[in-house]
Structure 1
């Protein structure tokens, strides 16, 4: 094969030299530069590689396969010789292979199975700008391996549209940039007409492009469904022009993908309908026109199903630019965008880390044994917490000695399957071959789009349609192509799990539920005794069936899809289950215990004996003689439900709490160290109720039995004696004024200030003006940091002035106040010179 020149060729010596001097590199190269197919072979003879393998991560299966075949052809070999690839359910790697192109899950498994990466000298992360979760994890693992086990390992991150400077800083790596192969591309917008569907808008754009411009047309659509509709819409008009219409997406057979990636043998023009698989890493010859829908299917967490599902979303501007560039690879080109010119796109693609469910990531980190890996964008803590909670339910994790749960042996078996932990748990649960084959069917059904056009909430109906399809009698309301894809996916799972048995031709509905409960232990549900449409879930929530539900009347359900709604969650897909089998499978989750709880409706303690499955109450009976020792727990729960205002606060206690809170804000250093001034916010007090309030409630059966003195002692117990002394010194309750009298300081804390975070209010000293004669400056507290807000009062105790600047008041405002008040209060002193006058809290003596 004659290898053409690539724009990246002049940069290859610099790439080799950089990696000889530094173990990491960021390589920026636009589409068409040749980074995917030219960089790996250029490194094969590098001395530092020492005959070891190069593993290149390629996000998409089509691109991985195409890149490996192209590099192999360059060497006059077949894939599987020097250059090979590994993707899901397909392996073209031999004993002589030195360049392996792998997809994302494969790389993670390689590192987890062999952290030393024996025999591997370099890891290349191609198209890193796509920011797939598995690529972020793979890079984090690779960096950990490099820093702790393999200093000689080379890591190259290659990207077309990523912020290279940020990435280079994160990796502490050199950054090289390559020119691309690009000709000018004219951008035009081709917006939809009123109520026009996407496929008809696309047909108009394609017809215009074929008439106005030379070359092939590449149209970007979000997915297979839209490609099929566009193909149907184009069939008549394009066929008449002698133009071939081809599809390109990841689920196509290899032969059809290869056909698209080669020029037409008869020289006919082509219209290629592609997903974003054609956005990077694969080259389509002859394309001069790009038509861009501006849409893509990308993973988003679907709380209904508990999985990340592919949703149609608007692409980022970087993707739009990359797609348009496909029109300028061979000559001047044209790009038509099917959205209005006024529409603005997000500049960059958001990382999957921020928008998908993270159970798989949490399991990988538990297997690695180090949750402190370095990520370019760290996992969101809330999503990680929810993921670990699910894994504990699935039996993949168990509470560890440290802060993080530890992976179980079952969790490691789940991880080896390379699928979502929910599906892995279900696939590993069956004990006989027939059930394992049925579990493979279920896994295929849960991962795929709905094969039934008629809807409904019975998962069994979908499985029956699949069984009928296998028997040659698919129901009319089902999509044959969707059922064929399901059948193929199930076969692949059976092959992966080495299941020799075929799926059953028939099965009762509860057999599906008996398997499904292993994937959705949090969504096992029991029918409510008072409302047959409502179900209580194992996670403590409840949900309702639709009025026309096909599973109405079932006492127990395993729910695979659930629409969360603030008013009422709805069951979208479910299967009945056998409660006897549930008890056999999970006996440890059935518990009987006596509970003393707070009944919010009766505002009293209730004592019951309950039998539960997780948080589903199966049976509850009142107890005549509950254990008094458990009353305190119930009363603490009452405070959690009712709030802190249910406690017997006195004005003095509220002031004491405000002083502590204000002082923490005025003097932040007091909130640091081994024994800090305690946090007395609502959230902190509620979180620590068991520590400070529960002892005070011991032996009490009513909340109002807690008196003010006992409550005050409990609250003050949060501050030890030394802090109480410091509090009196730094935030005193009273202050001596020049008249010799003690006057109270009032403290306040506004919980709703500062955007809801709360803020200390200025401390207030209310005092008659005459008591401050002779005092030049405003008194201060908090080690001199906080001025008091003075409420200067008339002899009758009415406010005359509010100020934190006493000196300024004497100089500027007092003369006016004296002139007005002297006639109104003649029995009280109003000296011309307040600076030297004697302070007093009394009226003038008689006769003066």
Structure 2
């Protein structure tokens, strides 16, 4: 007889809500019993009518343990009334009524049966964790109910959740609350601010907790399996000879190790459980009254800018910290040690970021494509997928061949979805089958899901071929338990790939393999090239090809010592001292997202011949015709490109005349109009046009900026056969400018902006338009006698500025009002000039005098 749990008080209200509304939100604190008591309590409800209950758990470890516990309360084994389905592990039978599922299993169940015919209730447990699969599963379940099964019940259960938005998403579902049974928990903070908890600090806090608290087991929260291993390695010698056991707890451990961590301590002994966030709410670790919280969690982050996904270690949220603290108060009063200060606690984020807004969405996009949805806005979401990340996910799927060019699901995409792994790995597995490399691909896929198989100094080497070799053969730097689990997983992945029927049909945009490819790969792998990274083993020979299938956007070419340009367009740098840095081509499986030059963390070499053979359809030919500023000429080259990588290039013998002209014009825009041979007449023509445009806005703009903007209109027709600055010296700029005008415009230009003005002496004086706001003529004063008013241009609208000169061609007066000059200033100027030039003609009345170009007019 199991003890009564707090959630049982809320079950009658929950039953009523599901019966009358069809949906409900249950908020129950950790330890209330919602995961194991609610499904069993609802099993015999009349509206269920013998149908199944499907319960989604965010973690497979929690799913297995929840199913085992529920089965034990019924006095049965897992697989009878209660069973579970997780990736690569299913325990259900013909009598199973409650199925605990995770890792996209619910999504695949819906995809294979959109009406979910066998189920009467779908429960989303621990929904506050906001996993990507939970959000997707809920969106699909809601559409399933709307389209096919209005009688399908949906319940959302959570420990710390803002219930109202979820209730609204469920159509105004009732919110049922259950209070947990909590004992007081004392919180002790670090005395000083830390830079992030280290393994040494965590170990010190655990030892302090054991010393200060004389009884009770300790639950330690760490961000990942790597940190757990390192803290375990420090604790074991420190606790040697003491009645304290150390037990790691994370999803990658074998079932027996997980059971040891969850079981009560043996009489007279204490236990330290080193756990990831899996013990935060989904699992109950028996005997815990002490929590040590490192204050960190590892979350997936995706950058639309780079297209890269990575796991990022960040401070825990306030909601998660409080849940972790609560694990110490389930059985008795407890204590929680936090490795951060009370001041730092005030700055913690209130809650974690939903995975859907920060993670890689490739799997989501593929699942939606299988469901028949291109635009996620067709579904109901608590938080919709970000548009930029979702679009990049679809672009990746198209590159992998999962989507057709029109955006629909391809047959290859259907097979990828059936494998239930990330689309990159699914594509790699399927492409490996016709090459005879399914076993290698399975091992590689298993390794890519693990933090790192190697230990110690060997982990510094980023070459994944070393991991493949270690997985295959073992070694002193390998955890054998992890190796055995990965080998089993790899074998299952390989079998699944072969079972999808991909043999003989290449998937994706890349060329399919040939019958001799596997032999060629193996031969290259075993023969190798001395000193070439990754080529000295079969693992190295295959790894680059297979990784290239998974990461075609991260194939890189060497551009300096340890530095590579990736096909995606960004840079990657290998850590110092890597043998792999000798390779001409690499594929990067893991890359940090720090700036334009990311640090490669896991990679493999790729032979040039393998790149040409297996990725031929990704290679494009491109003709580049561009202006070379150094050579001051157009350069034409033919390049072979893989994304942003230049594989080879050579001079282009016969480039397109249009492209040459475009490049030459681009050079002009870079260098400026000074590249052209401007004659005096050409420059004067431009200045006349600029003047006329200032007087009439309808006139074409011939300023330097405008001419550069319109090179195609007025200059391009005169560039035939030209491709350098030297060639441009043959251009007749004046002719090119004039030809851009119509006959009427040319006539008007000559009429309203004349090159010369006739003066009374008979001379034709050039008009200077260098200042378009004040065109002027410079003429000897004696040649203007008899002209009463200032000459005008632009149809009489603009008076010329007149520079009146002495017989020695020196200015004596500048005026735009010639009549006023004759009436006033002339007599003073006459007096001065007559004294300096007595032989010249200086009449008393300039308006009655005869203009002359000589010293004196004839007959005077």
Provide the C-alpha distance between the structure 2 equivalents of 1:208 and 1:119, rounded to a whole number of angstroms.
Answer: 50
Whether 2:611 is the aligned partner of 1:582: answer: yes
Which one of the candidate residues 458, 465, 471 is aligned to 1:460?
Answer: 465
Kept in 1: contact 2:570–2:597 (CA 8 A): no
Provide the C-alpha distance between the structure 1 equivalents of 2:242 and 2:165, rounded to a whole number of angstroms.
Answer: 49
Kept in 2: contact 1:629–1:699 (CA 8 A): no
- Residue 522 of structure 1 corresponds to which residue in structure 2? 553
- Residue 491 of structure 1 corresponds to which residue in structure 2? 491
The one-character-per-residue Cα deviations of 1:721-769 (angstroms, maximum 9, x if unpaired) are xxxxxxxxxxxxxxxxxxxxxxxxxxxxxxxxxxxxxxxxxxxxxxxxx
| TM superposition score normalised by structure 2 | 0.69
- Residue 736 of structure 1 corresponds to which residue in structure 2? none
Whether 2:47 is the aligned partner of 1:48: answer: yes
Structure of larger gyration radius: 2
- Residue 129 of structure 1 corresponds to which residue in structure 2? 128
Whether 2:386 is the aligned partner of 1:380: answer: yes
- Alpha-carbon spacing, 1:315–1:543, altered in 2? closer, same or farther (3 Å): closer
- Residue 559 of structure 1 corresponds to which residue in structure 2? 588
- SS of 1:430's equivalent in the other structure is helix
Kept in 2: contact 1:632–1:700 (CA 8 A): no
- Residue 119 of structure 1 corresponds to which residue in structure 2? 118
Kept in 1: contact 2:573–2:599 (CA 8 A): yes
Kept in 2: contact 1:306–1:561 (CA 8 A): no
The one-character-per-residue Cα deviations of 1:657-694 (angstroms, maximum 9, x if unpaired) are 9xxxxxxxxxxxxxxxxxxxxxxxxxxxxxxxx9x999
| TM superposition score normalised by structure 1 | 0.70
- Residue 618 of structure 1 corresponds to which residue in structure 2? 647
- Alpha-carbon spacing, 1:283–1:460, altered in 2? closer, same or farther (3 Å): closer
- SS of 2:99's equivalent in the other structure is strand
Provide the C-alpha distance between the structure 2 equivalents of 1:305 and 1:448, rounded to a whole number of angstroms.
Answer: 23
Provide the C-alpha distance between the structure 2 equivalents of 1:42 and 1:582, rounded to a whole number of angstroms.
Answer: 59
- Alpha-carbon spacing, 1:536–1:248, altered in 2? closer, same or farther (3 Å): closer
Q: Please list every run of 5 or more consecutive structure 1 residues that lacks an aligned counterpart in the other structure.
A: 658-689, 713-848
Q: How does 1:416-435 map to 2 (within 5 A)?
A: 416-431=418-433, 434-435=436-437
1:571 is displaced (CA, Å) by 4.6
Provide the C-alpha distance between the structure 2 equivalents of 1:409 and 1:641, rounded to a whole number of angstroms.
Answer: 49
Provide the C-alpha distance between the structure 2 equivalents of 1:557 and 1:575, rounded to a whole number of angstroms.
Answer: 5
1:30 is displaced (CA, Å) by 0.6
- Alpha-carbon spacing, 1:310–1:485, altered in 2? closer, same or farther (3 Å): farther
Kept in 2: contact 1:87–1:106 (CA 8 A): yes
Kept in 1: contact 2:567–2:642 (CA 8 A): yes
Whether 2:352 is the aligned partner of 1:349: answer: yes
Kept in 1: contact 2:86–2:102 (CA 8 A): yes
- Residue 73 of structure 1 corresponds to which residue in structure 2? 72
The one-character-per-residue Cα deviations of 1:298-353 (angstroms, maximum 9, x if unpaired) are 32348999764444322111111111111221222222222111113111011112
- Residue 403 of structure 2 corresponds to which residue in structure 1? 397
1:131 is displaced (CA, Å) by 1.1
Kept in 1: contact 2:84–2:100 (CA 8 A): yes
Kept in 2: contact 1:522–1:537 (CA 8 A): yes
Kept in 2: contact 1:510–1:575 (CA 8 A): no
Provide the C-alpha distance between the structure 2 equivalents of 1:442 and 1:489, rounded to a whole number of angstroms.
Answer: 10
- Residue 548 of structure 1 corresponds to which residue in structure 2? 577
- SS of 1:466's equivalent in the other structure is helix
Instruction: Please say which of residues 210-219 and 331-340 is displaced more in the overlay.
Output: 210-219
1:106 is displaced (CA, Å) by 1.0
- Residue 672 of structure 1 corresponds to which residue in structure 2? none
1:29 is displaced (CA, Å) by 0.8
- Residue 408 of structure 1 corresponds to which residue in structure 2? 410
| Count of aligned pairs | 663
Instruction: Please say which of residues 372-381 and 76-85 is displaced more in the overlay.
Output: 372-381
1:485 is displaced (CA, Å) by 5.2
1:507 is displaced (CA, Å) by 0.8
- Alpha-carbon spacing, 1:5–1:616, altered in 2? closer, same or farther (3 Å): same
Provide the C-alpha distance between the structure 2 equivalents of 1:642 and 1:29, rounded to a whole number of angstroms.
Answer: 71
Kept in 2: contact 1:206–1:291 (CA 8 A): no
The one-character-per-residue Cα deviations of 1:232-279 (angstroms, maximum 9, x if unpaired) are 444356554523333322222223323333333536433322222111
Kept in 2: contact 1:391–1:397 (CA 8 A): yes
- Residue 145 of structure 1 corresponds to which residue in structure 2? 144
Kept in 2: contact 1:54–1:122 (CA 8 A): yes
- Alpha-carbon spacing, 1:74–1:570, altered in 2? closer, same or farther (3 Å): closer
Provide the C-alpha distance between the structure 1 equivalents of 2:309 and 2:713, rounded to a whole number of angstroms.
Answer: 46
Whether 2:621 is the aligned partner of 1:592: answer: yes
Kept in 2: contact 1:218–1:291 (CA 8 A): yes
- SS of 2:556's equivalent in the other structure is strand
- SS of 2:432's equivalent in the other structure is coil
- Residue 750 of structure 1 corresponds to which residue in structure 2? none
- Alpha-carbon spacing, 1:699–1:493, altered in 2? closer, same or farther (3 Å): farther
- Residue 441 of structure 1 corresponds to which residue in structure 2? 443
Provide the C-alpha distance between the structure 2 equivalents of 1:108 and 1:652, rounded to a whole number of angstroms.
Answer: 72
- SS of 2:322's equivalent in the other structure is helix
- Alpha-carbon spacing, 1:80–1:358, altered in 2? closer, same or farther (3 Å): same
1:700 is displaced (CA, Å) by 8.2
Provide the C-alpha distance between the structure 1 equivalents of 2:245 and 2:255, rounded to a whole number of angstroms.
Answer: 19
Provide the C-alpha distance between the structure 2 equivalents of 1:157 and 1:259, rounded to a whole number of angstroms.
Answer: 30
Provide the C-alpha distance between the structure 1 equivalents of 2:343 and 2:717, rounded to a whole number of angstroms.
Answer: 70
Kept in 1: contact 2:57–2:124 (CA 8 A): yes
Instruction: Please say which of residues 459-468 and 344-353 is displaced more in the overlay.
Output: 459-468
Q: Please list every run of 5 or more consecutive structure 2 residues that lacks an aligned counterpart in the other structure.
A: 504-517, 527-536, 673-685, 698-708, 742-860
- Residue 361 of structure 2 corresponds to which residue in structure 1? 358
The one-character-per-residue Cα deviations of 1:110-130 (angstroms, maximum 9, x if unpaired) are 112211111111111000111
The one-character-per-residue Cα deviations of 1:578-626 (angstroms, maximum 9, x if unpaired) are 4344333343333435444455766875433333344433333334543
- Residue 248 of structure 2 corresponds to which residue in structure 1? 247
Kept in 2: contact 1:631–1:700 (CA 8 A): no
Kept in 1: contact 2:226–2:451 (CA 8 A): no
- Residue 187 of structure 1 corresponds to which residue in structure 2? 187
Aligned-residue Cα RMSD (Å) equals 4.2
Instruction: Please say which of residues 508-517 and 323-332 is displaced more in the overlay.
Output: 508-517
Provide the C-alpha distance between the structure 1 equivalents of 2:168 and 2:235, rounded to a whole number of angstroms.
Answer: 48
Q: How does 1:812-823 map to 2 (within 5 A)?
A: none
- Alpha-carbon spacing, 1:567–1:608, altered in 2? closer, same or farther (3 Å): same
- SS of 2:263's equivalent in the other structure is coil
1:361 is displaced (CA, Å) by 1.4
- Residue 660 of structure 1 corresponds to which residue in structure 2? none
Instruction: Please say which of residues 419-428 and 170-179 is displaced more in the overlay.
Output: 170-179
The one-character-per-residue Cα deviations of 1:160-204 (angstroms, maximum 9, x if unpaired) are 111112222233222111111112222222447999954454444
